[in-house]
Structure 1
């Protein structure tokens, strides 16, 4: 072990250096660098300092404290091997890449950017250094742009190869040096690109020293543009999704990102990397042609992998994309939740996707009531919707939020969306057609449609298919024969003043939340409201994640005595009840009451249902035609003439089929009885059926 400094500090060492170098100072040398070498614990072992003269001469010496006095020499090291520069920083963490440069000044430049950087000192020092601390590490060597730099890189590589290191070199021929830049190094590169970041350094092109020769200084043997593009993308994983779309998983810095090959994001990345490498702009046609070639490779040569937005499930674990710069995810299992890097599933990120906070433990879901205007009895339903929306598989209920003007419907829905799937636009206008709905579903996880006043039958059916996992289809743009199929399942939230949803299929899948009026004394300023929410945000998210974990743990032992239509949803939330201190069966009680409300809305919004309820016969049987005439007696003439009144027996029969579940809950039993062959005198226009009430 070297003589360890106990009392002297770097300040003391600088004072000692000035005294020992008084002669050189008088000759015109000026201090230009002072570097402290440490042991693994960070204790100083010796220093190296440099002085420069105006005639370009440099003077570099070691300085140590031996036997109680300062000397211009190195201390005695075990086996004559001296420690690496910044040794205490590079020994931990052992999984991170270490950058090796020639000279302490270069190492300091990279270290300031956040990289683990070191050196053995001068160009001839590789053989005298102790490299054992880098055993088995991933190492990148950045040679100086001269013959001495090339030799140093080779010497370092030789030392590290004996220690099972994975060694790559920075391809200095692609750094954009100008003619006459012999001797340029990492310091000069940083001066050339003063705004360069850690990420920029980590994206520099690398070469393998075992298979590629380092180009001679000032060499300008440029590759062609396609060759450069090939180099840039050689480490990308090309694959396709089940719908045959091409993707690339791209290594960026210390993580990986997944991009749709035809996306603007991938093209931007490719253009940036090309410019960094070739110092010229990537031509648009070349980029398009090259990406088309990658598409073919991904589709026909690449593996098939599912691609997810925000949420995914694999091997019984749920993964939530945090949307942060490191592409971190939350892993949720029956044993709890934790944040991890290197996601085992492939997430893609639409342009609108925003980051979630790092979730925190110790919060309570009851805090959510501070940020949404809701009746106490309905909070359990909203929490249930949020919980199941964090389950990637569905089928999902549709959350319908109603209330008078000023009841904070839009704020309510923004909070719901931001809690689990923040986006640049938290609310959307009503989609005009299935293509618009498909675009919305490709842009996020939880779909939030604001201020609805009417929902067409076609759009109501499309929303039901999307919430339950049915496909959406539309003609592919610029083609006549091709069809685009979008297969996905999404949680959906709708809000409006009126009871805009009336289709029984949708309402049978819905959670209906009616917001109470807000008194003026309880209104808050927007800025203050969101500041308070952001403070509570991490713990609210953590509480929800805890509920999902509890559901995964309890699901195998959770059964419902009388499963409703949305049985998967009800069973999942019931399994999570213990996470929030709810009593057994509390959710199902609230859900049953809410479903009763939905059935009332179905009946009250349908003219045929209102006529039958007004008539209210004890029993009746007859044909559909006869029933249509009887019902018409119980509504005004203008209703019978309206577009909403059935005009034929078949239309009435179809309407009654849809209303049958709601009528059954009201005590009406509607049956369709086929006629026998002996009843040939029945009117065939009645579809051969009798309706018995």
Structure 2
């Protein structure tokens, strides 16, 4: 019997694995494997339908003539590999978009050969990334993108906008700005909310925007029933598109805010009492619907309304998607060309908007193309403030009360006194009943005012909190408008 035949099976598997794969761990302790020279990483313990490293190892051993090994030998070899990998260098894994070296970013095309797009300060190119630079994580939601076309002269975006039913040029500029933002791994982008009358093609338009980034196999989803399912769906892909929203609970609204600007979720690890699993997420989000009811102010600051109109000519689904699939390489190539141009353009960072990174991107887009995206973004936020006020009776009552305050005057009262004042103003002489959800205590009123404070400020009403030597107070002010010559000096 030869020496190779005397070796235990686990040693054969371990030697083969170390010769053909690179092993590393992420910050949360998950161990991944990468085939030498290939950027796609697979967790060694995953048993999912997207393929685990265990399955990859079995196939490789069989095809390379080592035979088939039993489960015990594989488990022992993988246990040793996992233990050894815990001392290796920590490296993150990415889905679809990743930062690279020297200021570059990468876009995963979802191809089996690992070819990706490298976007760098002077252009973009198609190549296979160095595994030391980028590790791609693939899931069932990772669709394949076509190879982008070169030298498109920007016609791809014109072809895209011709297929969509955006209401005006301002909406088109915001849609393009959002697509550029989706190609940046570190820039939080607001969530587009596609609205319009019934039959305006909101779902079709949303699919087109998503498939530019996620491939033709991606689709819209129904809104999950709870926050945990929403986070699970977000973690498995890059762009999450939720269709036909008709109502948002406070918990779902807060969860969407966290998805847009980033947060961390911690839960108990399975089959343990003291260990936890951490998951960080900040992903692009897209929503469609005719009306989602009351929009909370914090979510409104993170939305990007894109209004569509009904098309004059209807087309069949088969005809529409056949054309879209044919021009997708051109659209993607044009988008990449514009992304490089925008990133190379200098522009001042607006300091008055919540989503400052996206506002800066809009300013860069305007400097590169004169689209007017930043003005369109400001106008869209102003419209959302109107929607928030229309759905919040307390905000309406505060604005009604503030209308009687002289410009520059300050009114200070305790929270209980403000509650009594605003309640009396709402009920009026006819003593109409208070609506459901009206504040019942001064503390509840104070918390509600803090939530709608940005909306009130956008309408010229400043609310602040302070303390005297004996008590706390809430102050309401209408600033004095600037003189005409001062306004002229601002520009």
Give the TM-score range, shorter chain.
0.7 to 0.9
| Deviation (angstroms), 1:562 | 4.8
Partner SS state of residue 497, structure 1: coil
Q: Is the 8 A contact 2:45 2:54 kept in 1?
A: yes
Question: Would you say 1:440 and 2:233 are equivalent positions?
Answer: yes
User: What TM-score, normalized by structure 2, do the two folds share?
Assistant: 0.86
Q: Which residue pairs with 2:340 in the alignment?
A: 549
Alignment partner, residue 77 of structure 2: 290
Does residue 271 (structure 1) correspond to residue 58 (structure 2)? The answer is: yes
What is the distance in 2 between the residues matched to 1:222 and 1:543?
Answer: 59
1:309 to 77, 80, 95: 95
Q: Could you give the per-residue CA deviations for residues 528-548 of structure 1, whole angstroms, max 9, x where no partner exists?
A: 111111121111111111122
Q: Which residue of 2 aligns with 1:322?
A: 109
Partner residue of 2:129?
Answer: 342
Structure 2 CA distance for aligned equivalents of residues 618 and 414 of structure 1: 48
* Alignment size in residue pairs: 457
- The aligned counterpart of 2:434 is 640
Per the alignment, residue 25 of structure 2 pairs with: 240
Establish whether residue 373 from structure 1 lines up as the match of residue 165 from structure 2.
Answer: yes
| Further displaced range: 620-629 or 315-324 | 620-629
**CA drift at 1:220:** 9.3
Change (3 A) 1:496 1:287: farther
Task: Return the match for 1:574 from 343, 357, 363.
Answer: 363
* SS in structure 2 at match of 1:381: helix
Superposed CA offset, 1:142-173 (max 9, x none): xxxxxxxxxxxxxxxxxxxxxxxxxxxxxxx9
Which residue number corresponds to residue 624 of structure 1? 415
Deviation at 1:281, TM superposition (A): 4.3
Give the Å deviation of 1:309: 0.8
1:283/1:469 CA distance change after superposition, 3 Å: same
**Aligned to 1:415, what secondary structure does the other structure show?**
helix
Instruction: Name the structure 2 match of 1:351.
Output: 140
For residues 402 and 500 of structure 1, do their structure 2 counterparts lie closer, same or farther at Cα, with a shift above 3 Å needed? farther
Structure 2 residue 456 is matched with structure 1 residue 663: yes
Contact 2:301-2:381 within 8 A present in 1 as well: yes
Alpha-carbon spacing, 1:431–1:481, altered in 2? closer, same or farther (3 Å): farther
Contact kept in structure 2, 1:550 and 1:578, CA below 8 Å: no
Indicate the structure (1 or 2) with the bigger Cα radius of gyration: 1
CA deviation profile, 1:294-326 (whole Å, cap 9, x unmatched): 222222x21111211111112200111111121
Q: Cα gap change, 1:276/1:223 in structure 2, threshold over 3 Å: closer, same or farther?
A: farther
Which whole-Å CA distance do the structure 2 matches of 1:410 and 1:632 have between them? Answer: 42
CA distance in 2, matches of 1:547, 1:618: 50
Of 449-458 and 270-279, deviating more is 270-279
RMSD, matched Cα = 2.6
Q: Is the 8 A contact 2:463 2:474 kept in 1?
A: no
Structure with bigger RCO (C-alpha 8 Å, 6+ apart): 2
**1:421 to partner: Cα distance:** 1.8
1:92-131 to 2 correspondence within 5 Å? none
1:257 aligns with 2:40: yes
Secondary structure (helix, strand or coil) at the match of 1:248 reads: strand
| TM-aligned CA distance change 1:639 to 1:600, over 3 Å | farther
- For the residues of structure 1 that align with 2:227 and 2:276, how far apart are their CA atoms? 13
TM-score by length of 1: 0.62
Partner SS state of residue 370, structure 2? coil
2:14 to 216, 230, 234: 230
Q: Secondary structure at the match of 1:259?
A: strand
- Matching of residue 514 in structure 1 with residue 283 in structure 2: no
Counterpart in the other structure of 2:481 = none
The structure-2 alpha-carbon separation of the partners of 1:561 and 1:412, relative to structure 1 and needing over 3 Å to count, comes to closer
Q: Do 2:196 and 2:202's aligned partners in 1 also have CA atoms closer than 8 Å?
A: yes
2:318 equivalent to 1:527 = yes
Q: 1:548 to 1:632 in 2, by over 3 A?
A: same
Structure 1 residue 623 displacement after superposition: 2.4
Shift of 1:615: 4.7
Superposition deviation, residue 650 in structure 1: 0.8
1:610 aligned onto 2:402: no
Range 369-378 or range 319-328, more displaced: 369-378
Rounded Cα–Cα distance in structure 1 between residues aligned with 2:74 and 2:226: 33
* 1:360-381 Cα shifts (integer Å, max 9, x gaps): 1314222221222211220000
Paired with 1:386 and 1:501, the residues of 2 have a C-alpha distance of 27
Alignment of 1:477-492 (within 5 A): 477-492=270-285
Aligned to 1:196: none
